Structure 1
Amino acid sequence: MDLTPLDVRKKKDDLRRTVRGYESTQVDAFLDLVADRLEEVIQEEVRLREQVTMLRERLGGFEERERALNEALVAAQELREEARLQAEKQAGLRLQEAAQQADQLVSDARRSAEDSERALADLHARRASFLRGMRSLLGRFLDEVGYEEARLVGSPEAAGSPPQDDEDGQDGEPESDHA
């Protein structure tokens, strides 16, 4: 049963008066005090209910903010993880690319060294061939000079036969006897 201040005040009028009962002024004063206090309690209850409603609304707002913050935090963590994975992937690709470039540089350097070695071997062979040809030519010139000296100094029989040029098809005769 709900008891209101008005119920208390009405009850005062409904009570019977007896000769040997309580002092009516004291009872009236007490009932007024109870009614006033009951009214204060009811007002306090209304105020507290309003405050609870407001606090629940605020709590709902805080819970919504917390949910939004948690979602933002999760999204940030996912983004950070995605960025980390992307960075690792990029680093891996760059390392792979650098390794390929290094392999290519080593391969190019080896090829260049092999080409240089072949060119050097070719130059050595050409030099040796040139020196053999030069030695042969100088030998023929010396033979011819010896023949010409012998011819000038003495008889052609002492000089022997003129040197033969067997490499280039010349007969070993000096180009000009009429010098």
Structure 2
Amino acid sequence: MNPSQILLLPGWQNSGPGHWQTEWERLHGYQRVQQHDWMRPLRGDWSARLEEVVADAPGEVVLAAHSLGCILTAWWAAHTRYAHKVRGALLVAPGDVERPDLAAQIPGWAPIARQVLPFPAVLVGSQDDPYCSFERAQTLAGAWGARFVDCGPRGHINADSDLGEWPEGHALLRALMNKD
């Protein structure tokens, strides 16, 4: 696949220096889906932007989502006309926007879409993610029909997790890229 067909979907506040998504963008040329407002995300706006980027893609795409990007993927998949263009999705550390503390910080994202995704997906969860319990991540994987991967105690699987280029995650992405 062409590197531009790998779409990086960061979460709330974007993915900064040291984040595996930023490393993959730098190393592999993957395309970050830019949102209009990283600090005050609006589900409708983010979903419309993803729809636009997938619609404009010349062929199939693979999604590599983190945190709120996972929640976006599920919501978008429930409403899009372009699910057929998605070869697969790597969903890393979904943020539980139905938790009262997160719902207050990121309003308008609940409820979380819980339909089986219309494309193959792998959900990577951490045993000590402060934004989504391990059990909740497993429940979301089941609802979405995603294969669940236990990442161990890695926090929110972000820059603070010191993953660097995160080769284990990239291997999961490459497996999705090569699905026939």
**TM-score w.r.t. length of structure 2:** 0.13
Q: More strand by proportion, 1 or 2?
A: 2
Structure 1 length normalisation: TM-score? 0.13
Structure number having the greater helix percentage: 1
